[in-house]
Chain A
Amino acid sequence: MDQFTVFVIIAGMMAVTYGPRLLPIAALSSRSLSPWLIKWLNLIPASVLAALLLPSLVLGEQGLNLHPDNVYLWAALPTFVVAKWGKSFVGAIVAGMAVVALTRYFL
Protein backbone atom coordinates (compact mmCIF):
# COMPACT_ATOMS: atom_id res chain seq x y z
CA MET A 1 0.00 0.00 0.00
CA ASP A 2 1.51 3.34 -1.00
CA GLN A 3 1.81 6.13 1.56
CA PHE A 4 -0.75 8.36 -0.17
CA THR A 5 -3.41 5.66 0.22
CA VAL A 6 -2.38 5.34 3.86
CA PHE A 7 -2.89 9.07 4.26
CA VAL A 8 -6.33 8.88 2.65
CA ILE A 9 -7.26 6.14 5.13
CA ILE A 10 -5.99 8.28 8.03
CA ALA A 11 -8.13 11.19 6.78
CA GLY A 12 -11.13 8.83 6.68
CA MET A 13 -10.34 7.59 10.18
CA MET A 14 -10.24 11.19 11.37
CA ALA A 15 -13.65 11.93 9.85
CA VAL A 16 -15.39 8.91 11.41
CA THR A 17 -13.71 9.55 14.79
CA TYR A 18 -14.28 13.30 14.98
CA GLY A 19 -17.93 13.09 13.89
CA PRO A 20 -19.20 11.17 16.93
CA ARG A 21 -16.99 13.28 19.21
CA LEU A 22 -18.36 16.60 17.97
CA LEU A 23 -21.96 15.96 16.93
CA PRO A 24 -23.63 15.56 20.36
CA ILE A 25 -21.80 18.57 21.82
CA ALA A 26 -22.73 20.71 18.82
CA ALA A 27 -26.34 19.51 18.73
CA LEU A 28 -27.21 19.24 22.43
CA SER A 29 -25.42 22.15 24.06
CA SER A 30 -27.67 24.81 22.52
CA ARG A 31 -31.07 23.33 23.36
CA SER A 32 -32.83 22.52 26.59
CA LEU A 33 -33.05 18.80 27.27
CA SER A 34 -35.86 16.87 28.88
CA PRO A 35 -35.27 15.97 32.55
CA TRP A 36 -35.33 12.33 31.46
CA LEU A 37 -32.48 12.75 29.07
CA ILE A 38 -30.42 14.69 31.62
CA LYS A 39 -30.95 11.94 34.21
CA TRP A 40 -29.91 9.36 31.62
CA LEU A 41 -26.86 11.37 30.56
CA ASN A 42 -25.80 11.81 34.19
CA LEU A 43 -25.62 8.02 34.52
CA ILE A 44 -23.33 7.79 31.49
CA PRO A 45 -19.98 8.64 33.14
CA ALA A 46 -20.24 5.92 35.80
CA SER A 47 -21.47 3.45 33.15
CA VAL A 48 -18.75 4.24 30.61
CA LEU A 49 -16.00 4.11 33.20
CA ALA A 50 -17.22 0.77 34.58
CA ALA A 51 -17.65 -0.62 31.05
CA LEU A 52 -14.06 0.37 30.24
CA LEU A 53 -12.58 -0.69 33.58
CA LEU A 54 -14.01 -4.12 34.35
CA PRO A 55 -12.91 -5.84 31.10
CA SER A 56 -9.38 -4.46 31.58
CA LEU A 57 -9.31 -6.03 35.06
CA VAL A 58 -10.82 -9.46 34.45
CA LEU A 59 -10.18 -10.24 30.78
CA GLY A 60 -6.78 -11.69 29.90
CA GLU A 61 -5.53 -12.89 26.56
CA GLN A 62 -7.24 -16.25 27.19
CA GLY A 63 -10.60 -14.81 28.21
CA LEU A 64 -11.94 -14.46 31.74
CA ASN A 65 -9.19 -14.54 34.37
CA LEU A 66 -10.38 -14.54 37.99
CA HIS A 67 -7.37 -16.57 39.13
CA PRO A 68 -5.34 -15.25 42.11
CA ASP A 69 -2.38 -14.68 39.75
CA ASN A 70 -4.27 -11.81 38.10
CA VAL A 71 -2.29 -8.85 39.51
CA TYR A 72 -4.70 -6.29 38.01
CA LEU A 73 -7.45 -7.61 40.29
CA TRP A 74 -5.26 -7.44 43.40
CA ALA A 75 -4.12 -3.94 42.59
CA ALA A 76 -7.73 -2.82 42.23
CA LEU A 77 -8.16 -3.19 45.99
CA PRO A 78 -5.65 -0.58 47.26
CA THR A 79 -6.59 1.71 44.36
CA PHE A 80 -10.23 1.54 45.41
CA VAL A 81 -9.47 2.07 49.10
CA VAL A 82 -7.19 5.08 48.54
CA ALA A 83 -9.59 6.59 46.00
CA LYS A 84 -12.62 6.23 48.26
CA TRP A 85 -11.22 7.16 51.64
CA GLY A 86 -7.86 8.77 50.90
CA LYS A 87 -9.41 11.09 48.28
CA SER A 88 -5.99 11.29 46.62
CA PHE A 89 -5.91 11.05 42.83
CA VAL A 90 -2.21 10.45 42.25
CA GLY A 91 -1.91 8.53 45.54
CA ALA A 92 -4.51 5.97 44.49
CA ILE A 93 -2.91 5.45 41.10
CA VAL A 94 0.58 5.11 42.55
CA ALA A 95 -0.76 2.60 45.10
CA GLY A 96 -2.21 0.48 42.30
CA MET A 97 0.93 0.67 40.19
CA ALA A 98 3.11 -0.18 43.21
CA VAL A 99 1.08 -3.32 43.98
CA VAL A 100 1.36 -4.41 40.33
CA ALA A 101 5.11 -3.82 40.29
CA LEU A 102 5.77 -5.42 43.70
CA THR A 103 3.60 -8.47 42.99
CA ARG A 104 5.46 -9.07 39.75
CA TYR A 105 8.78 -8.62 41.50
CA PHE A 106 8.12 -11.04 44.35
CA LEU A 107 6.00 -13.70 42.62
Chain B
Amino acid sequence: MNTQHIHTPNKTSRHNWILRALQQTLPVILGYMPVGFAYGVLAQKSGLSSANTMLMSLLVFAGSAQLIAVGLFAAGAGVASIILTTFVVNLRHLLMSAALAQYLRSWTRWQQAIFAFQLTDETFALHSNRFSRGETGKAETLAINMIAQISWLGGSFLGLCAGSLITDVKPIGLDYALPAMFMVLLVWQLTSGLRWFTAILAGLFSVGLALAGFSQMNVILATVLAASFGLGVETWINSRSS
Protein backbone atom coordinates (compact mmCIF):
# COMPACT_ATOMS: atom_id res chain seq x y z
CA MET B 1 0.00 0.00 0.00
CA ASN B 2 2.98 2.30 0.37
CA THR B 3 4.00 2.08 -3.28
CA GLN B 4 2.46 5.36 -4.36
CA HIS B 5 5.12 7.56 -2.78
CA ILE B 6 7.62 6.24 -5.33
CA HIS B 7 5.66 7.89 -8.11
CA THR B 8 4.70 11.08 -6.34
CA PRO B 9 7.89 12.19 -4.65
CA ASN B 10 7.53 15.73 -3.40
CA LYS B 11 4.15 16.48 -2.02
CA THR B 12 3.23 13.18 -0.41
CA SER B 13 6.63 11.92 0.78
CA ARG B 14 7.08 15.02 2.88
CA HIS B 15 4.06 14.03 4.96
CA ASN B 16 4.17 10.29 4.52
CA TRP B 17 6.40 9.68 7.52
CA ILE B 18 3.84 11.26 9.83
CA LEU B 19 1.06 9.10 8.44
CA ARG B 20 3.19 5.96 8.56
CA ALA B 21 4.23 6.76 12.13
CA LEU B 22 0.60 7.31 13.16
CA GLN B 23 -0.56 4.10 11.52
CA GLN B 24 2.14 2.02 13.20
CA THR B 25 1.66 3.65 16.59
CA LEU B 26 -2.12 3.21 16.58
CA PRO B 27 -2.15 0.04 18.73
CA VAL B 28 0.21 1.73 21.19
CA ILE B 29 -2.14 4.70 21.41
CA LEU B 30 -5.10 2.36 22.01
CA GLY B 31 -3.15 0.57 24.72
CA TYR B 32 -1.52 3.57 26.38
CA MET B 33 -4.66 5.72 26.72
CA PRO B 34 -6.57 3.37 29.09
CA VAL B 35 -3.44 2.33 31.04
CA GLY B 36 -2.34 5.96 31.32
CA PHE B 37 -5.86 6.77 32.44
CA ALA B 38 -5.67 4.14 35.18
CA TYR B 39 -2.30 5.54 36.24
CA GLY B 40 -3.73 9.08 36.45
CA VAL B 41 -6.64 7.94 38.60
CA LEU B 42 -4.43 5.90 40.95
CA ALA B 43 -1.80 8.64 41.24
CA GLN B 44 -4.46 11.07 42.42
CA LYS B 45 -5.74 8.55 44.95
CA SER B 46 -2.21 7.96 46.22
CA GLY B 47 -1.85 11.63 47.08
CA LEU B 48 0.35 12.83 44.22
CA SER B 49 -0.24 16.43 43.16
CA SER B 50 -1.46 17.01 39.61
CA ALA B 51 1.92 18.45 38.66
CA ASN B 52 3.83 15.44 40.02
CA THR B 53 1.39 13.02 38.37
CA MET B 54 2.09 14.55 34.97
CA LEU B 55 5.82 14.99 35.64
CA MET B 56 6.19 11.29 36.27
CA SER B 57 4.59 10.51 32.89
CA LEU B 58 6.83 13.11 31.26
CA LEU B 59 10.15 12.27 32.95
CA VAL B 60 9.92 8.53 33.67
CA PHE B 61 7.55 7.33 30.90
CA ALA B 62 7.39 3.68 31.94
CA GLY B 63 3.94 2.16 32.25
CA SER B 64 4.28 -0.75 34.62
CA ALA B 65 6.92 0.99 36.77
CA GLN B 66 4.70 4.04 37.22
CA LEU B 67 1.75 1.92 38.29
CA ILE B 68 3.93 -0.01 40.74
CA ALA B 69 5.44 3.23 42.09
CA VAL B 70 2.00 4.72 42.65
CA GLY B 71 1.05 1.61 44.61
CA LEU B 72 4.20 2.03 46.72
CA PHE B 73 3.40 5.71 47.34
CA ALA B 74 -0.06 4.69 48.54
CA ALA B 75 1.47 2.05 50.82
CA GLY B 76 3.77 4.68 52.34
CA ALA B 77 7.01 3.18 51.04
CA GLY B 78 10.27 5.08 51.47
CA VAL B 79 12.31 7.06 48.96
CA ALA B 80 14.98 4.40 48.44
CA SER B 81 12.57 1.50 48.05
CA ILE B 82 10.51 3.25 45.36
CA ILE B 83 13.58 4.22 43.34
CA LEU B 84 15.18 0.80 43.72
CA THR B 85 11.99 -1.00 42.67
CA THR B 86 11.75 1.25 39.61
CA PHE B 87 15.35 0.39 38.73
CA VAL B 88 14.71 -3.34 38.95
CA VAL B 89 11.43 -3.18 37.01
CA ASN B 90 12.96 -1.09 34.20
CA LEU B 91 16.31 -2.86 33.94
CA ARG B 92 14.97 -4.92 31.02
CA HIS B 93 15.34 -1.84 28.79
CA LEU B 94 19.10 -2.42 28.99
CA LEU B 95 18.69 -5.38 26.65
CA MET B 96 16.34 -3.57 24.30
CA SER B 97 18.74 -0.64 24.05
CA ALA B 98 21.63 -3.03 23.36
CA ALA B 99 19.65 -4.83 20.63
CA LEU B 100 18.81 -1.57 18.82
CA ALA B 101 22.28 0.02 19.16
CA GLN B 102 23.58 -1.57 15.94
CA TYR B 103 20.98 0.34 13.91
CA LEU B 104 21.74 3.76 15.40
CA ARG B 105 25.38 4.10 14.36
CA SER B 106 24.79 7.02 12.03
CA TRP B 107 22.76 8.96 14.61
CA THR B 108 24.30 11.86 16.52
CA ARG B 109 24.73 11.68 20.31
CA TRP B 110 21.80 14.00 20.80
CA GLN B 111 19.53 12.01 18.52
CA GLN B 112 20.49 8.82 20.36
CA ALA B 113 19.83 10.51 23.69
CA ILE B 114 16.35 11.64 22.60
CA PHE B 115 15.55 8.23 21.15
CA ALA B 116 16.65 6.37 24.29
CA PHE B 117 14.52 8.56 26.54
CA GLN B 118 11.35 7.21 24.94
CA LEU B 119 12.41 3.58 24.65
CA THR B 120 9.61 1.53 26.19
CA ASP B 121 8.50 -2.09 25.71
CA GLU B 122 6.01 -0.91 23.13
CA THR B 123 8.23 1.44 21.13
CA PHE B 124 10.97 -1.20 21.24
CA ALA B 125 8.55 -3.76 19.84
CA LEU B 126 7.78 -1.47 16.90
CA HIS B 127 11.37 -0.37 16.24
CA SER B 128 12.98 -3.81 16.46
CA ASN B 129 10.70 -4.90 13.62
CA ARG B 130 11.06 -1.70 11.59
CA PHE B 131 14.85 -1.54 11.94
CA SER B 132 15.36 -5.15 10.92
CA ARG B 133 13.35 -4.39 7.76
CA GLY B 134 15.71 -1.48 7.08
CA GLU B 135 13.20 1.22 8.05
CA THR B 136 15.47 3.46 10.11
CA GLY B 137 14.23 6.91 9.06
CA LYS B 138 14.93 9.33 11.91
CA ALA B 139 11.84 11.47 11.47
CA GLU B 140 9.49 8.48 11.40
CA THR B 141 11.31 6.79 14.30
CA LEU B 142 11.22 9.81 16.58
CA ALA B 143 7.63 10.60 15.53
CA ILE B 144 6.55 7.12 16.66
CA ASN B 145 8.17 7.74 20.06
CA MET B 146 6.63 11.20 20.40
CA ILE B 147 3.14 9.99 19.46
CA ALA B 148 3.49 7.16 21.99
CA GLN B 149 4.50 9.48 24.82
CA ILE B 150 1.86 12.06 23.93
CA SER B 151 -0.84 9.39 24.15
CA TRP B 152 0.63 8.26 27.49
CA LEU B 153 0.54 11.86 28.75
CA GLY B 154 -2.98 12.27 27.35
CA GLY B 155 -4.21 9.15 29.13
CA SER B 156 -2.55 10.25 32.38
CA PHE B 157 -4.15 13.69 32.08
CA LEU B 158 -7.63 12.28 31.45
CA GLY B 159 -7.26 9.97 34.45
CA LEU B 160 -6.14 12.93 36.52
CA CYS B 161 -9.23 14.90 35.50
CA ALA B 162 -11.64 12.02 35.91
CA GLY B 163 -10.43 11.23 39.43
CA SER B 164 -12.55 8.50 40.90
CA LEU B 165 -14.78 8.20 37.85
CA ILE B 166 -13.27 5.02 36.42
CA THR B 167 -14.78 3.92 33.15
CA ASP B 168 -14.51 0.27 32.30
CA VAL B 169 -12.52 -0.37 29.13
CA LYS B 170 -13.22 -4.09 29.03
CA PRO B 171 -16.45 -4.14 26.99
CA ILE B 172 -14.63 -3.05 23.81
CA GLY B 173 -11.59 -5.26 24.32
CA LEU B 174 -9.26 -2.27 24.63
CA ASP B 175 -7.26 -4.05 27.32
CA TYR B 176 -6.16 -6.51 24.64
CA ALA B 177 -4.56 -3.88 22.36
CA LEU B 178 -1.05 -4.24 23.79
CA PRO B 179 -0.96 -8.05 24.18
CA ALA B 180 -2.25 -8.27 20.58
CA MET B 181 0.46 -5.88 19.40
CA PHE B 182 3.19 -7.89 21.13
CA MET B 183 1.76 -10.99 19.48
CA VAL B 184 1.87 -9.50 15.96
CA LEU B 185 5.38 -8.11 16.36
CA LEU B 186 6.58 -11.40 17.84
CA VAL B 187 5.10 -13.39 14.95
CA TRP B 188 6.97 -11.14 12.51
CA GLN B 189 10.22 -11.81 14.39
CA LEU B 190 9.81 -15.60 14.06
CA THR B 191 11.68 -15.95 10.78
CA SER B 192 13.68 -19.08 11.61
CA GLY B 193 13.43 -22.28 13.59
CA LEU B 194 16.05 -20.93 15.97
CA ARG B 195 13.97 -17.84 16.70
CA TRP B 196 10.89 -19.99 17.32
CA PHE B 197 12.88 -22.12 19.73
CA THR B 198 14.31 -19.09 21.54
CA ALA B 199 10.94 -17.35 21.78
CA ILE B 200 9.12 -20.40 23.16
CA LEU B 201 11.90 -20.86 25.69
CA ALA B 202 11.76 -17.17 26.69
CA GLY B 203 7.98 -17.31 27.14
CA LEU B 204 8.13 -20.43 29.28
CA PHE B 205 11.03 -19.10 31.38
CA SER B 206 9.20 -15.81 31.88
CA VAL B 207 5.99 -17.50 33.06
CA GLY B 208 7.93 -19.94 35.23
CA LEU B 209 9.99 -17.20 36.87
CA ALA B 210 6.89 -15.07 37.49
CA LEU B 211 5.15 -18.03 39.13
CA ALA B 212 8.29 -18.68 41.22
CA GLY B 213 8.03 -15.16 42.62
CA PHE B 214 10.45 -13.25 40.36
CA SER B 215 7.63 -11.09 39.05
CA GLN B 216 9.84 -7.99 38.64
CA MET B 217 12.87 -9.66 37.05
CA ASN B 218 11.19 -12.37 35.00
CA VAL B 219 11.37 -10.61 31.62
CA ILE B 220 15.06 -9.71 31.74
CA LEU B 221 16.12 -13.05 33.23
CA ALA B 222 14.06 -15.07 30.75
CA THR B 223 15.39 -13.03 27.83
CA VAL B 224 19.05 -13.43 28.78
CA LEU B 225 18.61 -17.15 29.45
CA ALA B 226 16.66 -17.89 26.28
CA ALA B 227 18.89 -15.84 23.93
CA SER B 228 22.02 -17.45 25.40
CA PHE B 229 20.46 -20.90 25.09
CA GLY B 230 19.45 -20.15 21.51
CA LEU B 231 22.95 -18.97 20.62
CA GLY B 232 24.42 -22.07 22.26
CA VAL B 233 22.13 -24.38 20.28
CA GLU B 234 22.96 -22.59 17.03
CA THR B 235 26.69 -22.85 17.69
CA TRP B 236 26.35 -26.53 18.54
CA ILE B 237 24.39 -27.27 15.35
CA ASN B 238 26.89 -25.33 13.23
CA SER B 239 29.86 -27.12 14.78
CA ARG B 240 28.29 -30.51 14.03
CA SER B 241 27.46 -29.72 10.43
CA SER B 242 30.82 -28.20 9.54
Q: Which residues of A contact B (CB under 8 A)?
A: 1, 3, 5-14, 16-18, 20-30, 33, 36, 38-59, 63-64, 72, 75-76, 79-80, 83-84, 89-90, 92-93, 95-101, 104-105
Contacts and interface: CB of A to CB of B under 8 A. Distances in A.
Interface residues of B, number: 100
A43 B231 contact: yes
Contacts of A13: 56, 59-60, 65, 69, 82-83, 86
Interface string B90-123: 1111111111111011010100110111010100
Nearest to B117: A18
Nearest to B81: A9
A49 B170 CA distance: 23
B17 interface: no
28 contacts: A1-B76, A9-B79, A9-B83, A12-B79, A17-B60, A20-B91, A20-B94, A21-B117, A23-B94, A23-B97, A24-B98, A25-B116, A40-B227, A40-B228, A43-B198, A43-B226, A44-B223, A46-B186, A48-B124, A49-B199, A51-B203, A51-B205, A51-B226, A53-B179, A56-B178, A75-B176, A93-B177, A97-B180
Contact of B179 (A45, A57, A63): A57
B203 A50 contact: yes
Contacts of B166: none
Interface stretch (B2-10, B44-52, B135-143, B146-154): B44-52
Given A7-B52, A29-B102, A51-B218, A83 B206 contact: no
B219 interface: yes
